[in-house]
Structure 1
């Protein structure tokens, strides 16, 4: 019997952030509009990259709304 074990990794990175009107519904912190980048790696080799925009909390880091 043969078992294969592969490592799949996904990282999110904020590339640009601007303040936005509103507050976080979870912690009450301020909100900001951020350009996000998601990088998915398979066995340490990047094979999928996606850029998108989201409204995130500046205090707790929660994603409040995403625009894909």
Structure 2
């Protein structure tokens, strides 16, 4: 008998909007992305979380707000 446990994380972009300020590396515009991530265990959704991430539109670096 063999048991296989399948865990999966799915991320999807919900919304995009322009954020104020400029990229400290190249001076490009910053874009704010709302990302929803959900964890599934054996195709059953367990956990949902929405995060806001910031990216530069020119150099595509992920920026961290401190």
Q: What TM-score results when the alignment is normalised by the length of structure 2?
A: 0.65
The match for 1:31 is: 30
Structure possessing the higher radius of gyration over alpha carbons? 2
Q: Find the aligned partners of 2:5 and 2:39 in 1 and give their Cα distance.
A: 13
User: Structure 1 residues 45, 61: closer, same or farther in 2, change over 3 A?
Assistant: farther
Runs of at least 4 residues off by over 2 Å: 20-25, 28-31, 56-66
Q: Secondary structure at the match of 1:4?
A: coil
The match for 2:53 is: 54
Q: Find the aligned partners of 2:61 and 2:41 in 1 and give their Cα distance.
A: 26
Name structure 2 gaps, 5 residues minimum.
Answer: none
Q: What TM-score results when the alignment is normalised by the length of structure 1?
A: 0.63
The match for 2:16 is: 17
Name structure 1 gaps, 5 residues minimum.
Answer: none
Aligned length: 63
